[in-house]
Structures are given as structure tokens and as C-alpha cells.
Amino acid sequence: MEEEEWSQKVTGNQLPEVDITQPQQLRLRQPRLHPGMEEKLVLQFMDSMHNYLSLFDALSSILREGWLDLASARHSMGGLRINSSLLDMKLHTAATTVKITQYDDIAVDSIAVQPCFTLRKWASSEHGNSQLEDNNVHLRERDGIHQSSAEENAEVTVSKNLLGPTDNDQFSKERSKSLSTFGVLISPKLRASQLSFERALDVLVEIANMRSSVLYSFHQLHEEAEDN
């Protein structure tokens, strides 16, 4: 279907449009690009690079906030209540996982592989909730590529407006369960640091996806340069 659309666009003397939001679905067997299209690719590549670097800045500030909140919690509750010797060594499933999907097209001359990273937070929740969380993160990553400011990418609110109240309750319970390593009556600062590190995880996954997109765009440009 997409190949037909592409052919129509070329036949109609229209500039073939590259849909950067779905890079994993692009076919690499395409005619030589119009010079204007090449510049557009370069601009999109530079935009992606800018967003990628901005995400790094955002990650750095979120992590700084998280570490300081953790130090503040240790200051408030005492070093005996927050230290590494309390971490649970019992075997348990990971609360958060990353799903990597490889999109590649083996039908073209050059194989382009673009991994897509999806964060699954609080995976011990009910399956339905985690699936909803997957979709929300995936949607946000697709939209995030076109966002001009990476700060907006960094402001992850887990699309709470798409989650019902029971989903939020479930996530709150999972967060409390995770923090119960340090006790039940814990300082709000420890909860704040947990949220900071959770946001950092979201940004890390966005960075991974952004990097994947940047590398893919670079690969396209490189191939175009070689063709020229």
C-alpha cells in the first residue's frame, strides 16, 4: 500500500514525502531524491540531533534532582534506614522492563535495522494495565520525534489522562511496594526521588528511540551521498 502511494506521488511529479514519524516503515528502494528533499532530510536529521542532545540535558537535570532527593531522604530518615544493605536479594521479577522491537526490511538492497524501545513500567501490574502503558509510551515516542523541544519529551506524565483511576491506583500501589524495602512510613522525599528516577527511565527510552531514529536518518543521508 505504501509502495503504491509512493509510486503515485512520483508519477504525479510531486515531491515524495518522507514520513519521518514512521521511519521503520520506509522502503529504501526509492528513486534519487530531489535536491530539495535532500536538504529536508538534512534538516530533519539536524532536528533529531538537537532533540537527542536536549534529551540528554533533560536526563541530567532529572537525575541530579533524583540523587539530591535521595540524599535529602537519607538526611531526614537516617543512614540506617536508607542504605544499600536493605535492598531485597530475594528473586523477584523486574518491576520495569524494556521491550526491543527490531524493524528491518530484508526485501531491499541494503538492510536497514531500526530498533524500537518500549518501556513497560510496573510490569507486575495486571496485563491490561501494562499493555495500556505500552501503547501510551509508544504513541508518545512517535509524536515526540516531531516535538521541537526535548523538554516536552522529558515531561513524561505517563499519559495519565488516558489511564483510568484504577490504573493510577495500581501504579501507586506498585510504587509503594517497591519503596517498602526501606519501610512503610517513609519520607515524601524518598517518594519524590522515586518519581524522578522513574521519569529518568522514560527519558532514557526516548533517548534510545531518538538515537535509533538519528542513526537511521544518517544512514539514509549517507546512502544518498554515496549515490550522488
Partner 1 sequence: MYGFEALTFNIHGGYLEAIVRGHRGGLLTAADYNNLCQCENLDDIKMHLSATEYGPYLQNEPSPLHTTTIVEKCTLKLVDDYKHMLCQATEPLSTFLEYITYGHMIDNVVLIVTGTLHERDVQELLEKCHPLGMFDSIATLAVAQNMRELYRLVLVDTPLAPYFSECITSDDLDDMNIEIMRNTLYKAYLEDFYRFCQKLGGATAEIMSDLLAFEADRRAVNITINSIGTELTRDDRRKLYSNFGLLYPYGHEELAVCEDIDQVRAAMEKYPPYQSIFAKLSYGESQMLDKAFYEEEVKRLCLAFEQQFHYAVFFAYMRLREQEIRNLMWISECVAQNQKSRVHDSVVFIF
Residues that bind partner 1 (CB under 8 A): 64, 67-68, 71-72, 74-76, 78-81, 83, 85-90, 172, 176, 180-181, 183-189
The set of cell numbers assigned to 137 is: 509510551
Short-list 178, 17, 209, 29, CA closest to 112: 29
Q: Which residue's CB is nearer to partner 1, number 128 or number 188?
A: 188
Shortest gap between Cβ of 67 and partner 1 (angstroms)? 6
DSSP for 135-168, written as a single string: HHHHHHHHHHTT-S-HHHHH---TTGGGS-HHHH
Coil, helix or strand at residue 119? strand
If the CB atoms of residues 21 and 76 are measured against partner 1, the closer one turns out to be 76
Nearer Cβ to partner 1 (69/141): 69
Closer to partner 1 by CB, 86 or 111: give it: 86
CB of 24 to partner 1, least distance (A): 39
Question: 119, 125, 126: which is closest to 140 by C-alpha?
Answer: 119
CB of 59 to partner 1, least distance (A): 15
